[in-house]
Every structure is written in C-alpha cells, then in structure tokens.
C-alpha cells in the first residue's frame, strides 16, 4: 500500500521527493478519477447534440468591461488561501504529518498568501484591461451543454465530498461525536456510495437550468458517474483507507488467481489499522491486517468498469429520455448490494433484518431505477423530446 505519493514514487521509481508526503493517495486517485469522467460526460453531451437530443441556449454577455472589484476580491482571497497553504507546505513539509488536519488549521505562510493573492489580482486586472472597450458591447451567444462540463464537474466534486462525509457521519455516529470538529475534517469517515448519491442529485439540480432537456442531460451524465465511481475505488485500494472486505481465510478457488486479488492484508495502510510491522521505516504507516480480507475496492473497480461497458451498450438502443438513467440506478444498486455481503460495515437492526447503510441505499437505488424506467415518459415537460 502507498499511504501517500511519496512512498509510491520512492518504491516505484526510486526517487525521494519529501513534499509528496502531503499528497494523500486516496484523495489523489479519487480526484484523478474525475478526469476520465469529465471526458466521458463531454463525449456523451456532444453525441446527443449531434443527434438533436440536446440544443444550445442563448446567454447574454457583456464584452469590453473591466474586471469588477468583486472579481478582484474573490481572486485575491482564493490566491491568498492557496499561497498561504502551499508555500508553507513546500518549506515545512517535514512538519506536516496529517495533511487534512493541516489544510483546515491556521498554519500557513502569510507572505506566501499575500504574494499569490496579489499576483492573481494583477493578472486578472491586466487581462481585463486588455479587453476593455471605451463602450462595452452586449452580445448573445450560443452555449452548448458540453461547454459547461467544467462547472458541472466542480459541482459534482464538491457535492460528492460533502455527501460522502455526511453519510459517513450518519453511519459512524458514535465515532463522530467523540471528536466532532476533528472528525468532520478528517480524511477518514467517508461513505463512497453517499458521495455518489449526493453528487448525482447535485448534478440533477445543475441540469435544471437546462429546462425540459434535463432528463437527456442526466442520461449523458450516467456513464461518466459510473466510470468515475469505479476508478475512484483505485484510490481506496492503493491507500488502504479501511474500506475493505471481511476476513478471508478460505483457500483460493483457482490456482492462477493472484493472492492479492483473493485475500490481502493491506500493509502500510493509511488508516493505521492492524498490527505493527517490525523494522518498519514508513513514518506512521507501519500497520497491516493480522488476518487478510477481501480486497473489495478491487472488486468494485472491476465490476464498475464492466457495468460501465454494459451501460454504453444498452444506451445505444435507448431513444426515450430517462431510460439510461434508470438503468444506471439499477446497475449501481445491484452492484453495491452484492458487494456489501463481503464488506466490513456497521449493521442496523430493522424488523428482524440486519442491513448495512449501503444495502438500504442500494435497494432504494434499484427501486428508483425501476420507477424511473416506467415513469420516464411522463417526466419530460416537453413530449417532443422523445425520438420516434
């Protein structure tokens, strides 16, 4: 396992870059997963635009106006925060043990923040001055859905993190109340499925600005959500964040199956769970599981990619808006329900049953998918959206 990029880079390439200790492997790979997801979403939107399923909207813009004070202030604040944290991190990386705790602390470099904030303000002002006209002009331009992917990804990313943390808190309430503030900003306690659900709803809200086309916009988003979810699991596996399966002491069903794909002990896991490893020199990451477990993040990665491919095949023959989203919900529900059978999770007691939070949510996802499949024709405000 590689708890951060420093150990990954040192082990794979033999290069020691101490500042990389501040880059958590789990967060890094989850962030990277948004890149292919964004590409897939843009591809699907352009495909639907060419087929006439999505169209542009007219947006009024003002050309030749200097950068307003509000934008300069915003850019200064963003630049200040970035410089305040990054310069200190570059100069004092050895003193930063917990990256997430550092990010939300008051530690930082004032001069780094001042320089970065001022630089961004100067750049913003300069380019605004270059485009300034004596008489600003008002234009109406066409904005196509695929041109708004960048903003949509930001919405999905923020909503996903918030959702994952909120669902994680709900699932581990006793853990959270022991130290609410620390655990709220901790790199632990995230529920992956919760992040997916909240990100999906956030994107649904984002689509609302496109009026009657929101169902087709959601259909275009479905494959990218499934792809990003699958690839994000790679971070859970590489970092060893505790999101693994139950103990597995059973013999391998096939001799050709790699040991790490059947049962794994997650050495140097970022969650620091298990027993201490003798003669370990990996700072605070010196634990491995005493009994190996099912590497469920790998299983979800494989299952997610297979279901992503299946959804791409299914959506080729779908003409009614909403049906692709329905299949997406059903596939996500099925995948997560069955993976929960071998995952470590808190179980609830409900009418004689003992489901996990994810099992409950997966059932709701599957039911929602079935319901959407049948009511999709009635959710379109404009019946002409359907392609005959």
Which pair of tokens denotes residue 152? Answer: 């949509």
Is there a contact between 71 and 124 (Cβ–Cβ < 8 Å)?
Answer: yes
Averaged pLDDT score across all residues of the chain: 87
Structure tokens at 134: 């004596």
Percent of the chain with pLDDT over 90: 48
**CA 105 – CA 185 distance, rounded (Å):** 10
Residue 209: the pLDDT is 66
Neighbours of 278 (CB within 10 A): 6
Weakest-pLDDT range from 171-180, 182-191, 196-205, 249-258: 182-191
Q: Backbone phi, then psi, for 137, in 5-degree steps?
A: -110, 145
Place of tokens 């923040």: 113
pLDDT digits (tens, 9 = 90+) for 139-184: 899 989 888 888 888 888 888 889 888 888 887 888 888 888 777 7
- For residue 44, give both structure tokens: 């699907």
C-alpha–C-alpha distance, residues 247 and 106, integer Å: 40
The pLDDT score that the predictor gives to residue 387 is 42
At residue 386, does pLDDT exceed 50?
A: no
Position 258 pLDDT exceeds 70: yes
- Within 13 Å of residue 317, how many CA atoms lie on the same side as its CB? 5
pLDDT of residue 385: 44
pLDDT in tens, 80-119: 999 998 888 888 766 666 666 677 678 889 999 999 999 9
Q: What is the pLDDT of residue 172?
A: 81
Higher local confidence (pLDDT), 43 or 171:
43
State pTM to two decimals. Answer: 0.82
């Amino acid at each position: 396992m590689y708890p951060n990029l420093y150990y990954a880079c040192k082990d794979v390439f033999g290069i020691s870059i101490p500042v990389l200790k501040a880059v958590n492997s789990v967060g890094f790979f989850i962030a990277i997963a948004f890149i292919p997801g964004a590409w897939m979403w843009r591809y699907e939107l352009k495909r639907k635009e060419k087929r006439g399923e999505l169209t542009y909207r007219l947006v009024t813009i003002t050309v030749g106006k200097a950068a307003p004070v509000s934008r300069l202030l915003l850019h200064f604040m963003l630049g200040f925060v970035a410089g305040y944290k990054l310069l200190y991190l570059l100069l004092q990386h050895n003193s930063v043990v917990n990256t997430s705790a550092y990010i939300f602390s008051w530690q930082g470099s004032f001069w780094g923040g001042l320089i970065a904030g001022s630089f961004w303000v100067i750049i913003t002002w300069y380019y605004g001055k270059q485009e300034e006209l004596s008489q600003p002009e008002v234009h109406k331009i066409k904005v196509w859905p695929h041109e708004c992917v960048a903003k949509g990804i930001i919405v999905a990313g923020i909503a996903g993190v918030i959702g994952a943390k909120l669902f994680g808190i709900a699932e581990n309430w006793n853990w959270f109340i022991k130290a609410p503030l620390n655990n709220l900003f901790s790199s632990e306690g995230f529920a992956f499925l919760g992040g997916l659900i909240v990100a999906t709803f956030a994107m649904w809200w984002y689509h609302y600005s496109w009026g009657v086309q929101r169902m087709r916009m959601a259909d275009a988003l479905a494959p990218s959500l499934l792809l990003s979810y699958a690839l994000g699991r790679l971070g859970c596996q590489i970092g060893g964040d505790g999101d693994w399966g139950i103990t597995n002491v059973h013999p391998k069903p096939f001799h050709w199956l790699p040991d790490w794909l059947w049962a794994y002990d997650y050495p140097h896991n970022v969650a620091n769970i298990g027993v201490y490893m003798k003669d370990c020199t990996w700072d605070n990451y010196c634990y491995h599981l005493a009994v190996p477990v099912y590497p469920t993040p790998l299983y979800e990665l494989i299952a997610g990619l297979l279901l992503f491919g299946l959804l791409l095949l299914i959506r080729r023959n779908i003409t009614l808006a909403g049906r692709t989203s329905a299949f997406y919900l059903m596939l996500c529900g099925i995948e997560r329900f069955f993976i929960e059978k071998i995952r470590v999770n808190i179980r609830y007691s409900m009418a004689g049953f003992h489901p996990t939070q994810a099992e409950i949510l997966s059932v709701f996802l599957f039911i929602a998918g079935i319901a959407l499949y049948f009511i999709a024709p009635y959710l379109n405000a404009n019946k002409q959206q359907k392609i005959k």
